[in-house]
Structure 1
Amino acid sequence: MSDSTKAAGQDSGWHIYRRILIHVKPLWYGFVASFIGYAIYGAGQALAAKWLEMVVDAVQRNAFDQRLWLALSVVGIFLLRGIGAFIGNYSMSYVARETVHTLRTRVFESLLRLPTHYYHQNPSGEMLSRLTYNVEQVTGAVTNAIKISIREGLTVVGLLGYMIYLNWKLTLIFLAAGPFIGIVVSIASKRMRRLSRHLQSSVGDITSVASEAIRGFQVVRIFGGAPAEHNRFKRASEQNKRQSMKLVVTQSLNTPAVQLLIALAMATLLFMAMDPVVLGGMTTGGFVAFLTAAGMLTKPVRQLTEVSPIIQKGIAAAESLFGVIDEPGEQDTGTRELKETRGELVLRNLSYQYPGSQTQALRDINLCLPAGKTVALVGRSGSGKSTLASLIPRFNDGWQGEILLDGLPLQEIRLESLRRQISLVNQQVVLFDGSIADNIAYGAMAGASEELILAAAEAAHVTEFLERLPDGIHTLVGENGVLLSGGQRQRIAIARAILKDAPLLILDEATSALDTESERHIQAALAEVVKGRTTLVIAHRLSTIESADLIVVMEEGRIVEQGSHQQLLDKAGAYAKLHAMQFQV
């Protein structure tokens, strides 16, 4: 590695660490209080060495009349150290928890604004690992590292100051080991930062494998996937173990190397101290106190060398956190605010290609969704139906052509304003841990009255099963609605869309998880819901969209047919073939 590359890496590490410190800058008062506390603690350490000198000298002079004062003073010294340690530890712990809170909320806020493609390209386990493990590592770099640096640094200053006061010549001999310690720490630091990056990546792999297996536990068991999932988790865990052990080896070699250098300095110190010229006019108590202070230095110096691994772990973790924070969010270039929307959508020469893909998902789409009408998209899987629907709320950007809402290009409308005009029911229903009422009146609708919530529940036929639940509308649904059936979850999602009462409605396989009776109820409810709304329905089951005002047939990202149900049957084209396949029995 060239010198310029090394310098760039060091500058990058220092730049990242400075950026971490910016997050704790508002908590400066905690650092000041901690500094005062550890200064008291460090002074207590130096006073302990001084106390030993006074005891030895008192015994040598037979000054036993000082025993009461010496006994009380040792209690005072340890009380002083205890008070200093408490102030320092409490203040730094407060800073640590505040930093964890600030960083986690900052990263989570960034995750909420990131574009759709980021979620497609990054495993959820890795993102969760950043919110938990990586944040703690970063916090350690600015709290534990600074805590050790302040506490042990002030202890070293206090002890060295006392040693210089006793005999500056001997102190210089002891300090000669400093540059060698610095070299050892520098070499170990570079390796530890690299290993820390690999370790954090392996933690993300463990979280991803575990979360997938937990979410899909039914599929795992039915299809006999337990051994395969066990092996996947075992491999991820073994990789984590290997990276952890490499880090432990580096840390374990670093500490003994530093201690060996300190021992060599101590041995040289002791050898030189026996020289009458160097010893000078030191008393026996002073000589004993000097050696004691030098011995007391080994612990804080060793702990100071352990600061580097903590900082390197934090810098490696911060790189991934700042990667999320710096990731560009959704581009909101719109300036128009929509107040009243008729809901007419026009797509002209629309084409779209996913980032990184070599093929177009949509090709030259021309389509009009009249205000208040229902348009159904049908076609085989992968034909572009869901991609087309995702462009309307601008979950994906970067299309070619035009999408107009009431004559306005979507890019000119503020994202928040645009999405207020849209209700959405996904094929994969998302419910949040809370009550049924909380999930119907979700987000901006949280202030809705119970009467309005019940009215939406009635329209979506949610009330049909509410009577069988212990707490009715206030029954808790569990994580992602795990305590409800698939049909019940889907009806709650439809009730949420009904309560929003938006002029645009997107139904992505909204009846896919319903049994025959539930589907009949929902179809009747949807027939009322879609009145007066521009509705885009994505459906595989053609029986659910026969009454649509317009049916659009898609193949390989293109529109191949459009018309009413009967018109398309009369054409005997692609739609008629799909219809015949579904109803041939």
Structure 2
Amino acid sequence: MLKQLAPLLPYAHRYRGRIAAGLGLVVVSNLFSLAWPYLLKLAIDALERGIAIAGLAAYAGAIVAFSLIGGIGRYFMRQLLNGMSRHVETDLRDDYFAHLLRLAPDFYQRVPTGELMSRATNDIPAVRMAIGPGIMYLVNTAVVSVIALTMLVLIDPRLTLLAILPLALVPVATLYFGREIHKRFEAIQAQFGRISTMAQENLAGARIVRAYVQEDAQARQFAQLNREYMGRNVRLARIWGLFHPTLMLLTGLGVVIVLGVGGHDVIMNRISIGDFVAFMFYLMQLIWPMIALGWVINLFERGAASMRRIQEIMTEEPSIRDVERTLEIAVPQGAIEFRNVWFRYPGSERWVLRDISFHVEPGQRVAIVGRTGSGKSSVVRLLPRLYEPDRGEILLDGVPIRQLPLPRLRGLIAMVPQEPFLFSGTLGANIAFALRDGHDQARIEEAAKIAQLAETIREFPQGYDTQLGERGINLSGGQKQRATLARALTRDAPVLILDDALSSVDTHTEAAILHGLEDVLRRRTSIIVSHRVSAVKDADLILVVEDGAIVERGVHSELVAADGVYARLLRRQLLEESLDAERGVA
């Protein structure tokens, strides 16, 4: 358990002053709070001897004063230690989120989003409870136990020995139940992760679920996961339900022994009534930490299980990271070269790209075309190092991209992905996402104009301040693609990649966008991936990809004359457009 919580030490070290002050207050507050039973003993003994009202009032005042000081100390103790745990929780969540952003796409192919969300929302708070309330009550238990046991021994060593005999079994019971709680809590957290994953996937794919009329089937599957989650919680509740009564039984035996033996000693005048009353109070003060120890162990077991789950993610090394000695490009031009590149996705044996080689001069427009699944999108995913090639080399301005710092490399590339992604927030903020030097409304509006989105935005009542739902769900597919294109255009990068970025817009809008891009493309090196030949016919170089290899290359007229794969794609698309036009007339 302690080994699993060890990664928290650097976080706790940042707040060592708070921790030291808080633990100091634990000791001081308990010294004052536990003084009143002894003062009560003195008062009772004085009553037996006959004491004046003034003397009795002095004892009462001292008890109130000591209790008040102890209470104030406990207030600040909680403020310091629980506040420290909140800071650690915030730091840990920040580091967890930042670490997730550094991980490569292959990680997210292995780990469901719901599992990651479960760790952020469920496991991190469990860790906070261990490092805050857990430590506070553990130290409090230790201090109270030492003070109470010391006072018991001072009052009557023989009675103390008899009273604590049953308590010797408490550590044994705690060890056994603690292990069972830890094991069952880990199972609960794992099941909660599965529930989170299913909920996240179904909410994100709500349209697909409804389109295939799978609402009832998905609800039944979720209900099954939920029942399993409830069952695991019930099993934890059973073991926890046994733990508390077991501790109460063992500690209760001590009270019975004191009542019998101690009461007899009072009758026989071996100890005073004051001693007996104080002894009972200190015994109860000793018993309560023993009972609380079960709750504290539960906190630590839960925290350890959760920290292990968090560390499973935090110890994941990014598969793509900077090399030790990086290079720099003084004046980026945008020259791109692929040299004998081979690539397959992590975990797959099939080559997606085979011996890809081509060269792009600064300012050139290169198009990559091919059938669906031919590997054309995989080519452009390698350039910003979203994935690493298995063989070969990719260069930008003559520098191998592996030797460029990742932030610098990706800062030189503006990419419009195949699947548009928009964040919750305003439409304007989404377009401005790529801007590094703050919100620039003029650049946002210019980018929207080039992307043929400006007119659409003007139709919205709130314009650029229009709030988008999750993933831009309140926009059409074409509007989302144009918004992501506008976002890329706000970045003045020397390389622009359009990965089938206009697939959801009609041919008329596509032509208008490409016309608007003419000036932008003249100033940048651009790679356009498209399944539409009409979008790439004006490119300086067209690469035709088939089964992961470049099978043809050249300009539009050359490839048409060659009457190969490109020409067949062109004829098929012209036929489809002709049929669509006839259906429109009909």
TM-score (norm 1): 0.91
Q: Could you say which residue in structure 1 is the equivalent of 2:34?
A: 46
Q: Could you say which residue in structure 1 is the equivalent of 2:541?
A: 550
Conserved in 2, the CA contact under 8 Å of 1:569 and 1:575? yes
Is 1:80 aligned with 2:88?
no
Q: Could you say which residue in structure 1 is the equivalent of 2:551?
A: 560
Q: Could you say which residue in structure 2 is the equivalent of 1:8?
A: none
1:199-256 Cα shifts (integer Å, max 9, x gaps):
2212211211111122222222232121122123222222222222222222222222
1:517-553 Cα shifts (integer Å, max 9, x gaps):
5333322223332223222122123332222222222
CA distance in 2, matches of 1:255, 1:278: 34
Q: Could you say which residue in structure 1 is the equivalent of 2:124?
A: 135
Q: Could you say which residue in structure 2 is the equivalent of 1:265?
A: 254
CA distance in 2, matches of 1:278, 1:46: 27
Q: Could you say which residue in structure 1 is the equivalent of 2:45?
A: 57
Conserved in 2, the CA contact under 8 Å of 1:39 and 1:84? no
Deviation at 1:166, TM superposition (A): 0.8
Match among 1, 11, 14 for residue 26 of structure 1 = 14
Match among 130, 143, 147 for residue 158 of structure 1 = 147
Deviation at 1:392, TM superposition (A): 0.5
Q: Could you say which residue in structure 2 is the equivalent of 1:9?
A: none
Q: Could you say which residue in structure 1 is the equivalent of 2:281?
A: 292
Deviation at 1:397, TM superposition (A): 1.5
CA distance in 2, matches of 1:576, 1:229: 45
Conserved in 1, the CA contact under 8 Å of 2:329 and 2:397? no
| The 10-residue stretch of structure 1 (547-556 or 56-65) with the greater mean CA deviation from structure 2 | 56-65
RMSD: 2.5
Conserved in 1, the CA contact under 8 Å of 2:32 and 2:70? yes
CA distance in 2, matches of 1:109, 1:82: 40
Q: Could you say which residue in structure 2 is the equivalent of 1:390?
A: 381
For 1:441, the aligned partner's letter is A
CA distance in 2, matches of 1:398, 1:147: 51
Is 1:109 aligned with 2:98?
yes
Q: 1:466 to 1:170 in 2, by over 3 A?
A: same
For 1:358, the aligned partner's letter is E
Q: 1:361 to 1:260 in 2, by over 3 A?
A: same
Is 1:497 aligned with 2:492?
no
Match among 404, 409, 425 for residue 434 of structure 1 = 425
1:311-369 Cα shifts (integer Å, max 9, x gaps):
11111111122222222123211511123223222222211122221222211112223
Match among 276, 298, 308 for residue 297 of structure 2 = 308
Match among 78, 83, 86 for residue 89 of structure 1 = 78
Is 1:520 aligned with 2:508?
no
SS of alignment partner, residue 490 of structure 2: helix
CA distance in 2, matches of 1:88, 1:179: 30
Q: Could you say which residue in structure 2 is the equivalent of 1:343?
A: 334
SS of alignment partner, residue 306 of structure 1: helix
For 1:346, the aligned partner's letter is E
Conserved in 2, the CA contact under 8 Å of 1:45 and 1:159? no
CA distance in 2, matches of 1:357, 1:269: 71
CA distance in 1, matches of 2:57, 2:509: 89
CA distance in 2, matches of 1:279, 1:38: 39
1:375-419 Cα shifts (integer Å, max 9, x gaps):
222223322122211110011124201212232222222222211
Match among 224, 228, 244 for residue 235 of structure 1 = 224
Is 1:509 aligned with 2:509?
no
Q: Could you say which residue in structure 2 is the equivalent of 1:6?
A: none
Q: Could you say which residue in structure 1 is the equivalent of 2:234?
A: 245
Unmatched tracts of structure 1, length 5 or more = 1-12
Counting matched residue pairs gives: 573
For 1:194, the aligned partner's letter is K
CA distance in 1, matches of 2:375, 2:574: 24
SS of alignment partner, residue 356 of structure 2: strand
Is 1:322 aligned with 2:304?
no
Match among 86, 94, 98 for residue 87 of structure 2 = 98
Q: Could you say which residue in structure 2 is the equivalent of 1:196?
A: 185
Deviation at 1:507, TM superposition (A): 0.6
Conserved in 1, the CA contact under 8 Å of 2:43 and 2:59? yes
CA distance in 2, matches of 1:560, 1:188: 67
CA distance in 1, matches of 2:268, 2:111: 66
| The 10-residue stretch of structure 1 (79-88 or 117-126) with the greater mean CA deviation from structure 2 | 79-88
For 1:475-486, what aligned pairs fall within 5 Å after superposition?
Answer: 475-486=466-477
CA distance in 2, matches of 1:206, 1:263: 42
Unmatched tracts of structure 2, length 5 or more = 580-586
Conserved in 2, the CA contact under 8 Å of 1:353 and 1:359? yes
Deviation at 1:278, TM superposition (A): 12
Conserved in 2, the CA contact under 8 Å of 1:469 and 1:475? yes
TM-score (norm 2): 0.91
Q: Could you say which residue in structure 2 is the equivalent of 1:10?
A: none
1:44-91 Cα shifts (integer Å, max 9, x gaps):
442332244245435544536244334434433442342122112211
Q: Could you say which residue in structure 2 is the equivalent of 1:331?
A: 321
Conserved in 2, the CA contact under 8 Å of 1:385 and 1:554? yes
Conserved in 1, the CA contact under 8 Å of 2:434 and 2:490? no
CA distance in 1, matches of 2:247, 2:375: 63
Q: 1:121 to 1:248 in 2, by over 3 A?
A: same
For 1:49, the aligned partner's letter is P
Conserved in 1, the CA contact under 8 Å of 2:170 and 2:290? no
For 2:329, the aligned partner's letter is L
SS of alignment partner, residue 154 of structure 1: helix
Q: Could you say which residue in structure 1 is the equivalent of 2:583?
A: none
Deviation at 1:516, TM superposition (A): 4.7
For 2:460, the aligned partner's letter is L
SS of alignment partner, residue 535 of structure 1: strand
Q: Could you say which residue in structure 2 is the equivalent of 1:16?
A: 4
> Percent sequence identity over matched residues?
30
1:168-197 Cα shifts (integer Å, max 9, x gaps):
222223333344211111122222222222
Match among 204, 207, 226 for residue 215 of structure 1 = 204
For 2:76, the aligned partner's letter is I
For 1:436-475, what aligned pairs fall within 5 Å after superposition?
Answer: 436-447=427-438, 449-475=440-466
Deviation at 1:119, TM superposition (A): 1.5
CA distance in 2, matches of 1:392, 1:525: 25
SS of alignment partner, residue 367 of structure 2: strand
Q: Could you say which residue in structure 2 is the equivalent of 1:370?
A: 361
Q: Could you say which residue in structure 2 is the equivalent of 1:379?
A: 370
Match among 403, 419, 432 for residue 394 of structure 2 = 403
Match among 545, 559, 569 for residue 560 of structure 2 = 569
SS of alignment partner, residue 76 of structure 1: helix
Q: 1:280 to 1:534 in 2, by over 3 A?
A: farther
CA distance in 2, matches of 1:478, 1:277: 76
For 1:528, the aligned partner's letter is D
| The 10-residue stretch of structure 1 (453-462 or 197-206) with the greater mean CA deviation from structure 2 | 453-462
Conserved in 2, the CA contact under 8 Å of 1:40 and 1:80? no
For 1:456, the aligned partner's letter is A
CA distance in 1, matches of 2:28, 2:37: 15
SS of alignment partner, residue 510 of structure 2: helix
SS of alignment partner, residue 500 of structure 1: coil
CA distance in 1, matches of 2:444, 2:133: 49
Q: 1:166 to 1:34 in 2, by over 3 A?
A: same
SS of alignment partner, residue 202 of structure 2: helix
CA distance in 1, matches of 2:217, 2:518: 46
Conserved in 1, the CA contact under 8 Å of 2:511 and 2:535? no
Q: 1:354 to 1:21 in 2, by over 3 A?
A: same
CA distance in 2, matches of 1:475, 1:274: 78
Q: 1:241 to 1:172 in 2, by over 3 A?
A: same
CA distance in 2, matches of 1:280, 1:58: 16
Deviation at 1:558, TM superposition (A): 1.7
